[in-house]
Structure 1
Amino acid sequence: MNKYSLSIITINRNNAEGLKKTIESVASQSYKDFEFIIIDGGSTDGSQQIIIDHEKHISYWVSEKDKGIYNAMNKGISKATGDFILFLNSGDSLLEDEEILKKVVLNLQNKAVYYAPIYLENNNAIKELVEYPIMIEEKFAFTNTLCQQAVIYHLSVFDNNFFDENLKFISDWKMHFNLFKNKIAFIHFNVPFANYDVYGLTSKGETKYKAHKERLKTQFLDFPFYFFKYYGTNKRVFLRLLKMAFRIK
């Protein structure tokens, strides 16, 4: 089996236009020492034809019903053979620089989690650049999150360790915090390499609220020590967050 430096995993469901954009941004790269994996959730909007039309750029793809975002991502991990993994979901894209992957991959050396600034994209126009701290500290890891498209993982961090499929929206946050707690190094890149489609699932109004609620609930149930440590100093705020976490809606 061929061994690649990088595995790019794209998950998609009924976002043919976004999928085409993502594939084309990956295919335009001059650096080719990567595999491109597409996990499609049984789309019915023409996504499969988009995949077939670009099949020469794709190492592996499947289109079948899945159990959600993180089930699809775990399927991708199980097929990955690269030393590192980048999740670039349909609608997201690499920067319009055909050398950007080369610039990034040649700096990947350690068994670590690498992260970089990322551009938020709105209607195919750059909206803003999001910067992250040069050093990830405990408070940031618990109370904030890194856009997954800004993160490159060494494959070893997924040894017997997959995304929690019981969560619908914030399993990536949980993954990052657990990796931080387990002393996995987080290494900062100062050069962005990807655009994040702000029309993604957790960026929309109602789902954004549900994602926030899910994270608070997960923080309280799975990491109570840190929940009290960072939210418990102000009783009013603490009770408001706790109420939001368990509100039935």
Structure 2
Amino acid sequence: MAKLPALVTALSECDGRERKTIDHIARLIREAGHISTTKRGSGASEMTARDAANLFIGANGCDSPNEAPLAIDRFRSLILHRSYTRPGCDVEAFNRVAEANNFGVALEAMIDGMDGVMSAADGFLESGYAQLPETISRVKKSLRTGSWGSGLIPFHFDIELKRYQAKITCSVNVASETGARDQSGVAGVWRTDFCAQFEIDVNRLEQGFYGLKSADRNVSVTATGFTLFKLWSAIQQHETQG
């Protein structure tokens, strides 16, 4: 399984910030007990989906690296408010998210289940673009090699962190027989296959767990599923090599 440097590399490759920034955040949250730790070198702790989820939250859930440990506690505590799964959409990771008792568990389930999500994405594309095999082939490759945020990729899988809410959404652009286009002018129509929204725990809010009850400044960060795919791939690669 992956060591911490492998997860840092995986996240930094799609985060947009320098690796040393992600490395600094990783050290802080490890020291706070949010990442497994033993000794350094070849005997260092092997990373799990929980460690990867905490690194993702710590890197995206706050303004300052020093706030990363608190951000992890707060975002992990968010409870499932509602979820939707399109009839006929049977993806194990989505099912586990819908059953999760908090966002931390849900995010771990998503990272653990990224192999199933990728297989599902392939299936969604094959059903939506049955008459366009070249498009299917191109997009399948793109999903494994580059950001899913490109307008050229008819598959969206987003994780949004907003202080303090979290949302996981999966949708696919399905070719339209009528020639319909979406709001951006892209041919096809967007179909939501899965969505889960997590909200604050009201009891903890009353106890001051989330800080101020109201703020005029709202901050949100959205990453595509490619980030989770990179984290999952790092873990799987080291499992294969081990």
Q: TM-score by structure 1 length?
A: 0.31
Using CA pairs below 8 Å that are at least 6 residues apart, which structure has the higher relative contact order?
2
Q: TM-score by structure 2 length?
A: 0.32
